[in-house]
Copies of this chain bind each other. A is one copy, B any other.
Amino acid sequence: MLQKAGIFRFHTESYMCDFTAKVTLPVICNYMLDAASIHAKERGFGYERMLKDNVTWVLSRLSIEMKEYPAQNQSLIVETWVESVVRLFTQRCFRFIDQNGKVIGYARTIWAVIDINTRRPVDILSRLPDLSNYINLEMECPISKMEKISAVENVEPTIGYTVRYSDIDINKHTNSVKYIEHILNIFGLNFFSEKFICKFEMVYLAEGIFGDKVKLYQNKISDNEFIIDTKRCDESLCRSRIVWQPLFSI
């Protein structure tokens, strides 16, 4: 049996950085999804294997806390492991380690398994009994459990976009990381030059498809905390909480 935790090394390239010369949050999320995908595949519960049983993984929630972001041309280690499996959901955690061995962040994701025909969730361990062998109780993920993110209502939308080719993933739905890219586009460049995103939470509620007209609604909780609701008409596709931390603060 393989080790419970998987260790994946990524190399940050210049085009993965924003104008502050740091790797962007969407790139960190792509690393996570890539690590998760390979970790699952190597242990017998990857996408391809699942599709043979007419089920697939669906990302339901995502919570990331970063102390800092890597610069370009560095190596970044992403560790990932399964924290728990409870009926319809499994929790997968991540730890990010920079090239000097310093832990720079953690993340927790919650996944469902759905039947690809009915699109309904299934009991995970009855379909994937071997998954329980990989539940890792030894590693800790010190991220607070995600609180509910309320809908944003009675405000004008901030920006809107149409779901197009670049937004679509391999399953022909809106790519879960592309939602994040659009959400960050709400903010002016001064946010990114004066602060960094120390916490990002996302709940995925419905699947977007090609051609969807999407609007983003913002609720400003404080100067450093925002709720963004991504809606197709009145239906939330996903909701996120973004917490900024001023640079050079203690």
Contacts and interface: CB of A to CB of B under 8 A. Distances in A.
Question: Which one of A14, A21, A168, A188 has the highest number of Cβ atoms from chain B below 10 Å of its Cβ?
Answer: A14
Interface stretch (A30-38, A55-63, A142-150, A238-246): A30-38
10 contacts: A14-B34, A19-B169, A19-B170, A26-B166, A159-B162, A165-B189, A166-B184, A166-B185, A168-B189, A188-B210
Contacts of A192: 165
Nearest to A20: B170
Interface string A182-212: 1011011100100000000000000000100
Judged by DSSP, the binding face of A is: mixed
A140 interface: no
A153 B19 CA distance: 33
Tallying the copies of this chain within the complex gives 2
A13 interface: yes
Interface residues of A, number: 35
Interface of A: 13-15, 17-19, 21, 24, 26, 30, 33-34, 37, 159, 161-162, 164-166, 168-172, 175, 177, 181-182, 184-185, 187-189, 192, 210
Given A15-B34, A30-B15, A184 B165 contact: yes
A65 B40 CA distance: 36
A137 B17 CA distance: 34
A24 B13 CA distance: 17
B18 A37 contact: no
Nearest to A185: B164
Contact of A170 (B18, B30, B159): B18
A226 to B, nearest CB: 14
Contact of A14 (B14, B17, B170, B172): B170
Contacts of A159: 162, 164
Nearest to A181: B166
Given A14-B33, A26-B166, 17 more contacts: A13-B34, A15-B30, A15-B175, A17-B170, A18-B165, A18-B170, A19-B168, A19-B169, A19-B170, A19-B171, A21-B170, A159-B164, A165-B184, A166-B181, A166-B182, A166-B184, A188-B210
